[in-house]
Amino acid sequence: MPLYTFESESGEVVEKLVPTGTDALLIEGVKFSRTSSPQSFAYTGNAVGMLSQKEQVKDGYYKLECSQGSRFKSSFSKGTIKKTWGI
């Protein structure tokens, strides 16, 4: 069963696991209609597999160098970049 977000006319929002195709809910006499836009969600806890900011910067420069080849120009020297990010 998918998780859908439902909203009442007064603006109350609820999230419920309901069978596919459910468009409306009646909760304690209040009608909730399913929202049309997809809702995002997140798990709390430790982020697994997330690179550190230093690694993200290194990967970003690497991707730019690969995509632009010899045309890659940075306004910073290699030494400045390495010193700033502790690489």
Q: What is the pLDDT of residue 64?
A: 83
Give the model's pLDDT for residue 43: 67
Q: Which residue has the tokens 């430790």?
A: 46
Q: Which residues of 30-68 are buried (b: 16+ CB within 10 A; e: fewer)?
A: eebeeeeeeeeeeeeeeeeeeeeeeeeebeebeeeeeee
Task: Give the number of C-alpha atoms closer than 13 A to the C-alpha of residue 71, restricted to the C-beta side.
Answer: 5
**Confidence tier at 74 by pLDDT (50, 70, 90):** confident
Q: Where are the domains of the chain?
A: 3-34, 53-85
Amino acid symbol at 29: G
**Predicted TM-score (pTM) of this structure:** 0.44
Tens-digit pLDDT profile for residues 19-67: 988 899 999 999 999 988 766 666 666 666 777 888 888 888 888 888 8
